[in-house]
Amino acid sequence: MKRVVIAITGASGSIYARQLLNKLKAIPEQWEEVAVVMTENAKEVWKTELQDESWKDTGLNFYSRNDFSAPFASGSGRFETMIIIPCSMGTLGRIATGISNDLISRAADVILKEKRKLICVVRDTPYNLIHIRNMETVSLAGGIICPATPSFYSQPKTIEDVAATVVDRVLDLAGFSIRTFRWGEK
């Protein structure tokens, strides 16, 4: 059973976070705990993009971004996966430079130092050289950079279907067993 941290930052792409939370809720037999940290900017972006505050209705454990007593702020907390979705370039930069000034960057630091799985779903575009170097640094430290770049093999029909191509890839990377489009399968 997995213990997973989900961090939601203020980058555009709230649809990805909502879908991830909903999909995780649909497979409770595959996880022991899902802990969520959401920045204030993320809440504003969510309200703007999705026109609701549905993060409040997930029933998952939410932590303040300043709650350094959260169990995943220490390696002894034994959370094996952290997904930052969407991951702002500011958050990525703080992780890449070892600045642990909030619970998200501290948890990412813990995940990396413990050699566990960190998945950063970066959403900004285009990238500048600083972004690329920060992605390289996090990758070299053991993190996974998974740009929120949808695929179209499955012929998605709605914006939710398009977003699901990214979220399903993230769930695969995190080691969850899900039903999704698989290349070469009919």
Task: State the pLDDT at residue 183.
Answer: 77
Question: Could you tell me what percent of the chain has a pLDDT over 90?
Answer: 92
Residue 182, pLDDT > 90, answer no
Residue 9, pLDDT > 90, answer yes
Question: Could you tell me what percent of the chain has a pLDDT over 70?
Answer: 99
Mean pLDDT, the chain, rounded, equals 95
Ranges of H-type helices in the chain = 14-25, 40-50, 89-96, 103-113, 129-140, 159-173
DSSP H or E segment with residue 186: none
pLDDT tens column, 31-63: 999 999 999 999 999 999 999 999 999 999 999
Task: State the pLDDT at residue 179.
Answer: 84
Section 83-99 average pLDDT: 97
pLDDT tens column, 134-174: 999 999 999 999 999 999 988 999 999 999 999 999 999 99
Residue 83, pLDDT > 80, answer yes
Q: Kindly list the strands in the beta sheet with 2-8, ordered across the sheet, starting from the edge strand earlier in the chain.
A: 61-63, 31-38, 2-8, 81-87, 117-122, 144-145
Confidence of residue 126 (pLDDT cuts 50, 70, 90): very high
Report which residue type is found at 35.
A
Domain extents for the chain? 2-173
Task: State the pLDDT at residue 22.
Answer: 96
Give CA separation, 10 vs 38, 82, 86, 87, 184, in Å.
8, 17, 7, 8, 36
Which fold does the domain 2-173 belong to in CATH? Answer: Rossmann fold (3.40.50)
Report the alpha-carbon distance of residue 5 to residue 49 in Å, rounded. 23
